[in-house]
Amino acid sequence: MAKRPDLDSLIVPKGAESPPSEEQAASEGTASKGYAHTLSYRMTADQYRQLRRFVADQEEKTGKRITHQAIIEAAVMQWLKEASK
């Protein structure tokens, strides 16, 4: 398969552990986080709809973009804080 110059910088061979470029890290918000693990959280359609509405409402109120990841991360951290009291 011929290489496409416009996509070459995005290709990472399987098993390669190369860190993302500064531009990619900044655009993905991972530069300062240093994530080591990825978790999946399954939601019902109603839960997801509620999350989407909450995010849209928060963006409308603050004028800033917010991600589902940020909401879930904040909720987990708050739960851990409360649970460790």
pLDDT the model gives residue 51: 94
| pLDDT tens-digit readout, 9-65 | 666 666 655 555 555 544 455 456 788 888 898 999 999 999 999 999 999 999 999
The three-class DSSP label of residue 73 is: helix
| Other C-beta atoms lying within 10 Å of the C-beta of residue 67 | 10
pLDDT at 35: 82
Spans of all domains in the chain: 38-85
HEC string for the chain: CCCCCCCHHHCCCCCCCCCCCHHHHHHHCCCCCCCCCCCCCCCCHHHHHHHHHHHHHHHHHHCCCCCHHHHHHHHHHHHHHHHCC
In angstroms, how far apart are the furthest CA atoms of the chain?
Answer: 58
